[in-house]
Amino acid sequence: MLEILSRPGSCKTSSIRLQWRKLNLNVSTQPLRSSRGLKTVKVTDGDVARLAAKPLHPLTLADLVKHGRPPLETPALLSSANFTLSILPGRLAHRIQSLRNLPYIVVANPNVSKIHNNYLHSLGTLLPYAERQIETLEDEIQFTEVMANLVQTHANTISILARGFLEARRYISPREVTRFLDEHLRARIGTRLVAEQHIALHFSSIPHAELSESHAQESQAARQSSYIGIIDTQLRPADIIRNCESFVGEICELRYGVRPTLSINDPCDSPHGTTFAHVPVHLEYILTELLKNAFRATIEKGMEREPVEVTIAPAPEEPENADGVHEGAISTHDQGAVDAASGANKPEVAAAANVRPLEKSTPGVTIRIRDRGGGISPENYAKLWEYGFTTFNEDQASDAAGNGNMDALNAISGVGGDGGSSLAGLGYGLPLGRAYAEYFGGGIAVQSLWGWGTDVYLSLRGVGRIE
């Protein structure tokens, strides 16, 4: 069957080529075009209960690269699709269950209800595939369109949830909000990773190249690329830092009329500096948030002549204990896989499983960001890791929420300031950045000297050595 599908000039090939072009158009168009063509089914309470009763699959970096280096051949591409399908329905069901376990008056909030309905919609598009294997390129193309729709549907989950919890803050405590969001948004990271990884492998696959006009060029580009899906095996932190510096600097010039300078110290002997294997979009998100905090504090302290200093240091390989497990093994809590909110998993059982990256040897990096922005006040330091709208008065918080783009990529977060700047977010940036860092075993540590400045240490573990 697969040979017939790949035979030039066949009717099947023409049909698949049209489907592939349609998918390519949908994925590359923002916002994603209407999903009316997607087959959906009604999700029942029984569907949610059945899927949420299954234990969550702990996601490792090995899972994301196990199908091989691009360009993938057809069997590997179908294997990627079936792996993605095997874990996403359960993850979506767990998120639905956890939302339903919130106080009813919170779930009834229009914004929280919208997220609940988005998850039901995405699960409804997956259920037609959930009871069978994806065995043909036609099925794989349709499934990838479902993945593209899923990613687009949940693009604004953070800002919508933030607005909803802000509006419902009288009915749920900040501690409950932090606990729910910490779990929910960590789980969301994994869901997007799996979906985006398959989409990336799809577009760098051999079948995709054969059905496009530039077969030879696309195949060659995929073979020469350092990427495996969305993972860059030769990621250079210094390059990401410079890109984020440019973006944050432009925001500062627009708001303040000035921009701090930034100096990078990368002691690696390599002519290209330190490299390791990781997910670039995660590092970009984290560094953007950290630089926004550093730049804003530096400017508002009047210290823009003092450069923000960034030091990149390769991390040593981690020792193992007697059982052969790294001391820094990733817990299921780091990935939001304990799922305490839905009650579907027992935390003491789920937490016992350690998630390990691709290989025992997992070189990573530590990045220090030092600013002279006056440090973080003691009262705000205690709230550093809250998903916190608590440092804003009601009018300021409502104004920020009305923006609809509360992400760290759209607003400077003011964890150390007075929260009065029009560029201040609602305090979601730093805890979200920590969630991204911890997802694969890294972390963020903050040391502040009140009246002088702040040091932030970002540690990241790599995927491992990929041959």
Q: Could you report the per-residue pLDDT of 409-467, keeping only the tens digit for each? A: 233 333 333 333 322 345 678 888 999 998 888 899 999 999 999 999 999 987 655 55
Residues 374, 106: Cα–Cα separation, whole Å: 38
- 443-449 and 453-460 beta bridge pairing: antiparallel
Calculate mean pLDDT across residues 244-268: 91
pLDDT: is 315 or 401 the higher one?
Answer: 315
Collapsing DSSP to helix, strand or coil, 240 comes out as: helix
Examine the pLDDT at 242 and tell me if it is beyond 90: yes
Show the CA angle centred on residue 247, arms to residues 242 and 249, nearest 5°.
90
**pLDDT reported for residue 175:** 84
Sequence-distant (6+) residues with CB within 8 A of 389 are 162, 165, 166, 169, 397, 401, 426, 427
| Percentages (nearest 5) of helix, strand, coil residues in the chain | 50, 10, 40
pLDDT in tens, 339-375: 554 454 444 333 323 334 444 445 789 999 999 999 9
Calculate mean pLDDT across residues 45-62: 83
Collapsing DSSP to helix, strand or coil, 331 comes out as: strand
Residues 86, 166: Cα–Cα separation, whole Å: 35
Token look-up 């970002």 returns 458
**pLDDT reported for residue 466:** 52
**pLDDT reported for residue 272:** 67
What are the tokens at 313? 């240091």
Residue 155 phi, psi dihedral angles, 5° rounding: -65, -35
Give the H or E element holding residue 163. helix 157-167
What's the whole-model pTM score? 0.77
Show the CA angle centred on residue 100, arms to residues 95 and 105, nearest 5°.
135
pLDDT in tens, 380-396: 888 888 876 433 344 54
pLDDT: is 222 or 151 the higher one?
Answer: 151
Lowest mean pLDDT, pick from 204-218, 263-277, 290-304, 347-361? 347-361
**pLDDT reported for residue 255:** 87
Calculate mean pLDDT across residues 24-53: 69
140, 77 Cβ separation under 8 angstroms: yes
Sequence-distant (6+) residues with CB within 8 A of 394 are none
Residue 364 phi, psi dihedral angles, 5° rounding: -140, -160
Q: What is the percentage of the chain residues whose pLDDT exceeds 70?
A: 68
- 262-265 and 308-315 beta bridge pairing: parallel
Residues 25, 274: Cα–Cα separation, whole Å: 36
pLDDT: is 291 or 35 the higher one?
Answer: 291
pLDDT in tens, 79-92: 999 999 999 999 99
**pLDDT reported for residue 341:** 47
Give 389-398's long-range contacts (Cβ < 8 A, gap of 24+).
389/162, 389/165, 389/166, 389/169, 389/426, 389/427, 390/174, 390/427, 391/415, 391/419, 391/427, 392/419, 392/424, 392/426, 392/427, 396/420, 396/424, 397/166, 397/426, 398/166
Residue 371 phi, psi dihedral angles, 5° rounding: -130, 160
Q: At what angle do helices 429-439 and 174-203 cross, to 10 degrees?
A: 50
Q: Tell me the domains of the chain and their CATH numbers.
A: 2-226 (1.20.140.20), 231-317+361-460 (3.30.565.10)
